[in-house]
Amino acid sequence: MTSTSATAARVRARTGGPKDEGPKVLEHVLGWTLVVVLAMLVTQAGLL
């Protein structure tokens, strides 16, 4: 392995992209949506 290909492999391993962040962002948004919906149901039911 040459030093150029070793450096490129290290850089490639460290960098992330949209593909790495997609599911985490989706889970975060869905989680907060669930929290908001539950809060609305609790307030509509008069439990708070």
In a domain, 23, yes or no: yes
pLDDT of residue 47: 80
Q: What is the pLDDT of residues 1-48, one digit of tens each?
A: 566 665 555 555 656 665 655 678 889 999 999 999 999 999 999 886
Cα–Cα distances in angstroms (integers) from residue 12 to residues 7, 9, 24, 29, in the given order: 9, 5, 20, 28
In a domain, 37, yes or no: yes
In a domain, 30, yes or no: yes
Is the pTM higher than 0.85? The answer reads: no
In a domain, 12, yes or no: no
Token digits for 45? 């039911």
Cα–Cα distances in angstroms (integers) from residue 27 to residues 17, 35, 46, in the given order: 17, 12, 29
Question: What's the domain count of the chain?
Answer: 1
In a domain, 25, yes or no: yes
**3-class secondary-structure state, position 32:** helix
Domain that holds residue 29: 18-48
